[in-house]
A and B are shown apart, each in its own frame.
Chain A
Amino acid sequence: MAIVDEIRELLASALADIAAAADTAALDAVRVAVVGKSGTLTGYLRSMGQVPADERAEVGKAVNAAREEVEAALEARKAVLASAELEAQIASDALDITLPGRAQQVGTRHLISRITDEIAEIFLGLGYTVASGTEVETDYYNFEALNTPADHPARGLQDTFYVVDRSGDVSAVRGESDVLLRTQTSGVQAHVMETQEPPIYIIAPGKVYRRDVADPSHLPQFNQVEGLVVDKGITFGDLKGTLEYFVRQMFGEDRRTRLRPHFFPFTEPSAEADISCGICGGVGCRFCKGTGWVEVLGCGMVDPNVFAYADIDPEVYSGFAFGMGVERIACLKYNVPDLRMLLEGDMRFLRQF
Chain B
Amino acid sequence: MKVSLKWLNEYVDVPADTKALCDKLDLTGTGVEGVEVGGAGFSGVYTGQIVEKTAHPDSDHLWVTQVDVGDQNVDESGNPVPLQIVCGAQNFEAGDKVAVALVGAVLPGGFEIKKSKLRGQVSNGMNCSARELGLGDDHDGIMILDPGTPLGVDFAQYVGLSDRVLDLEITPNRPDCLSIEGMARELGAMYRIPVKDVCEGVELIEAGNPTADSVSVEIADSELCPRFTARVIRGVEVGPSPDWLAERVTASGARSINNVVDITNYVLYLLGQPLHAYDFDKVAGADGKAHIVVRAAREGEVLATLDGQERNLTPDMTLIATPESAIGLAGVMGGLDTEVSDQTTTILLEAATFSPGHTSRTSRNLGLFSEASMRSERQVDMQPIDRNIDFAAALIAQLCGGTVDVGLVDVWPVREQPMALQLRVARCAGMLGADIPQAEIEDILVRLGCDVKDAGDGVLDVVPPSFRPDLEREIDLYEEVLRLFGMENVPSTLPGGRERIGRRSWNEQVVARLHGTLRASGLSETQTYAFASPDDLANLRMDAVAEGEAVELINPLNAEQSVMRQSLIPNLLRSGAYNQNHGVGNIALYELGDVFHSAEGRKQPWEWAKLAGVLAGATDASWNLPSRAYDYVDGKGVVENIAGELGLTKLRFKALEANEAPFLQPGRGAQVLSGGAIVGWVGEVYPLAVAAFDAAPPVVAFELDVKALAKAASATRETSEISPYPAVSMDVAFVVDESVTHEKLMQTMQSAGGSLLASVQLFDVYRDQERLGEGKKSMAYALEYRAADHTLSGEEAEKAHSRLVKKVCGATKAEVRA
Say yes or no: is A88 at the interface (Cβ < 8 Å to chain B): no
A209 to chain B, nearest CB (A): 8
Size of interface on A: residues with Cβ below 8 Å to B: 101
Contacts of B378 in A (CB 8 A): 153
Taking a contact as CB atoms under 8 Å apart, the answer to whether B508 and A130 are in contact is yes
When each residue 561-581 of chain B gets 1 if its CB lies under 8 Å from chain A and 0 otherwise, what string results?
100100000011011101100
User: Using a Cβ cutoff of 8 Å, how many contacts connect chains A and B?
Assistant: 300
Q: In the complex, A341 Cα to B173 Cα: how many Å? A: 36
Contacts of B571 in A (CB 8 A): 345
Say yes or no: is A226 at the interface (Cβ < 8 Å to chain B): no
B489 to chain A, nearest CB (A): 10
Q: In the complex, A102 Cα to B619 Cα: how many Å? A: 13
Contacts of A108 in B (CB 8 A): 519, 524-525
- Given A136-B551, A237-B434, A263-B172, is A103 in contact with B625 using a C-beta cutoff of 8 Å? yes
Say yes or no: is A177 at the interface (Cβ < 8 Å to chain B): yes
Taking a contact as CB atoms under 8 Å apart, the answer to whether B527 and A342 are in contact is yes
A253 to chain B, nearest CB (A): 15
Q: In the complex, A18 Cα to B576 Cα: how many Å? A: 70
When each residue 166-199 of chain A gets 1 if its CB lies under 8 Å from chain B and 0 otherwise, what string results?
1111001111111101000000000000000001
Taking a contact as CB atoms under 8 Å apart, the answer to whether B526 and A110 are in contact is yes
Taking a contact as CB atoms under 8 Å apart, the answer to whether A167 and B602 are in contact is yes
Contacts of A179 in B (CB 8 A): 603-605
Contacts of A346 in B (CB 8 A): 575, 578-579, 582, 584
- Chain A: which residue is nearest B624 at the CB level? A102
Taking a contact as CB atoms under 8 Å apart, the answer to whether A107 and B475 are in contact is no
Say yes or no: is A44 at the interface (Cβ < 8 Å to chain B): no
Taking a contact as CB atoms under 8 Å apart, the answer to whether B582 and A199 are in contact is no
Say yes or no: is B445 at the interface (Cβ < 8 Å to chain A): no
Say yes or no: is A115 at the interface (Cβ < 8 Å to chain B): no
- Given A176-B554, A261-B28, is A153 in contact with B377 using a C-beta cutoff of 8 Å? yes
Q: Which of B360, B502, B553, B599 gathers the greatest number of chain A CB atoms within 10 Å?
A: B502
Taking a contact as CB atoms under 8 Å apart, the answer to whether A151 and B432 are in contact is no
Say yes or no: is B499 at the interface (Cβ < 8 Å to chain A): yes
Taking a contact as CB atoms under 8 Å apart, the answer to whether A241 and B492 are in contact is yes
Interface segment, one of A4-12, A31-39, A55-63, A120-128: A120-128
Taking a contact as CB atoms under 8 Å apart, the answer to whether B487 and A107 are in contact is no
Say yes or no: is A255 at the interface (Cβ < 8 Å to chain B): no
B207 to chain A, nearest CB (A): 41
B48 to chain A, nearest CB (A): 29
Say yes or no: is B174 at the interface (Cβ < 8 Å to chain A): yes
Taking a contact as CB atoms under 8 Å apart, the answer to whether A303 and B503 are in contact is no
Q: In the complex, A271 Cα to B358 Cα: how many Å? A: 29
Taking a contact as CB atoms under 8 Å apart, the answer to whether B365 and A199 are in contact is no
When each residue 532-564 of chain B gets 1 if its CB lies under 8 Å from chain A and 0 otherwise, what string results?
000000000000000000011111110001001
Which residues from 262 to 308 on chain A have a C-beta closer than 8 Å to any C-beta of chain B? 262-263, 268-272, 289-291, 301, 303-304
- Chain B: which residue is nearest A126 at the CB level? B502
Taking a contact as CB atoms under 8 Å apart, the answer to whether A213 and B557 are in contact is yes
Which of B518, B554, B582, B590 is close to A163, meaning CB atoms less than 8 Å apart?
B554
Interface segment, one of A22-30, A65-73, A77-85, A228-236: A228-236
Say yes or no: is B715 at the interface (Cβ < 8 Å to chain A): no
When each residue 582-605 of chain B gets 1 if its CB lies under 8 Å from chain A and 0 otherwise, what string results?
101011111001101011111111
B508 to chain A, nearest CB (A): 6
Q: In the complex, A76 Cα to B544 Cα: how many Å? A: 82
When each residue 324-362 of chain B gets 1 if its CB lies under 8 Å from chain A and 0 otherwise, what string results?
000000000000000000000000000000001110110
Taking a contact as CB atoms under 8 Å apart, the answer to whether A258 and B603 are in contact is no
Taking a contact as CB atoms under 8 Å apart, the answer to whether A347 and B522 are in contact is no
- Chain B: which residue is nearest A342 at the CB level? B527
Q: In the complex, A189 Cα to B433 Cα: how many Å? A: 23
Taking a contact as CB atoms under 8 Å apart, the answer to whether A231 and B557 are in contact is no
B374 to chain A, nearest CB (A): 8
- Chain A: which residue is nearest B499 at the CB level? A199
- Chain B: which residue is nearest A238 at the CB level? B495
Q: In the complex, A341 Cα to B359 Cα: how many Å? A: 40
B772 to chain A, nearest CB (A): 34
Q: In the complex, A112 Cα to B624 Cα: how many Å? A: 34
Say yes or no: is B473 at the interface (Cβ < 8 Å to chain A): yes
For the complex of A and B, 5 pairs with smallest distance between CB atoms = A237-B433, A345-B575, A235-B433, A261-B29, A263-B171
Interface residues of B (CB under 8 A from A): 19, 22-23, 26-29, 31, 34, 171-174, 314, 316, 356-358, 360-361, 363-365, 369, 377-378, 430-434, 473, 475-476, 478-479, 482-483, 487-488, 490-497, 499-505, 508, 515, 518-531, 551-557, 561, 564, 571-572, 574-576, 578-579, 582, 584, 586-590, 593-594, 596, 598-605, 607, 619-620, 622-625
Interface residues of A (CB under 8 A from B): 99-100, 102-103, 105-110, 112-113, 123-130, 134-138, 149-157, 161-169, 172-179, 181, 199, 201, 207, 209, 211, 213, 220-221, 229, 231, 233-238, 240-242, 244-245, 258-263, 268-272, 289-291, 301, 303-304, 314, 318, 342-348, 350-351
Known: A151-B358, A211-B555, A236-B433. 12 other contacts (CB 8 A): A107-B518, A136-B604, A138-B603, A153-B356, A172-B361, A178-B603, A213-B557, A240-B492, A240-B493, A259-B488, A262-B29, A291-B22
